[in-house]
Amino acid sequence: MALTAIAEPRYRLRWMTTTIIGATDSDLARAIAARTGTADAAEAELYRRFAPRVRLYGLRHLRDDDAARDLMQQVLLLTIEKLREGAVRDMDMIGSFILGASRMLAVNLKRRARRREALLEAFPAAHPSVSAAPAGMSVEMDAEELEGCLSRLAERERTVVLLTFYGERPSRDIAQTLGTSEGNVRVIRSRAIERLRTCMGATERAS
């Protein structure tokens, strides 16, 4: 007996839901990669299964709920994107792929956090004149604002600042890397710091 126009969508939805819920992780991965009619449901189910695991991994290694949630989003979106592109070779190892992505992205998040902290701590410590910033400029610089100001520096200035505070390299090493003198490195760094202070002051006043 043929299904009515109203019953058919309901039947298809029930069939898809039952099939997806009972599917293995590798079955879900294959459905996503093949872009079948169940691909969207497979993506949602894969996310439902692995999101809590990735978030727990993030909590254990990043020790911050917001960072763990960011990791969860990034890992699952990356996984689904790679499946759609056909970039995952072994569908039976999709769990290992997600774990590997979690490790890689967690390391990147921790490295980024360490770099922010290093610059925020080293900048005022190494240059006390920051404490005498213009009125309205906060001494405790916001990491996001600082990164924005860094992006506005000339490439050579930004390189010197990053190598100094992120890389913790002395002027001599930086001079060798850039093919210039130590004196010139100090001039570039001083100019870059002044521009950062001006940019941060303007950002603080604008806010």
Count CA within 13 A, CB hemisphere, residue 179: 0
Other residues' Cβ atoms within 10 Å of the Cβ of residue 50: 22
Structure confidence by residue, pLDDT tens digits, 28-51: 999 999 887 888 889 999 999 999
Q: How far apart are CA 49 and CA 34, in angstroms?
A: 20
The pLDDT assigned to 122 comes to 53
pLDDT at 119: 63
Annotated domain spans of the chain: 7-113, 127-206
0.75 exceeded by pTM: no
**What tokens were used for 91?**
């569908």
- pLDDT band at residue 205, thresholds of 50, 70 and 90? low
CA–CA separation, 37 vs 75, rounded Å? Answer: 24
CATH, domain range 127-206: 1.10.10.10
pLDDT tens by residue, 71-106? 999 999 999 999 999 999 999 999 999 999 999 999
Strand ranges inside the chain, DSSP E = none
Give the 3-state secondary structure of residue 203: helix
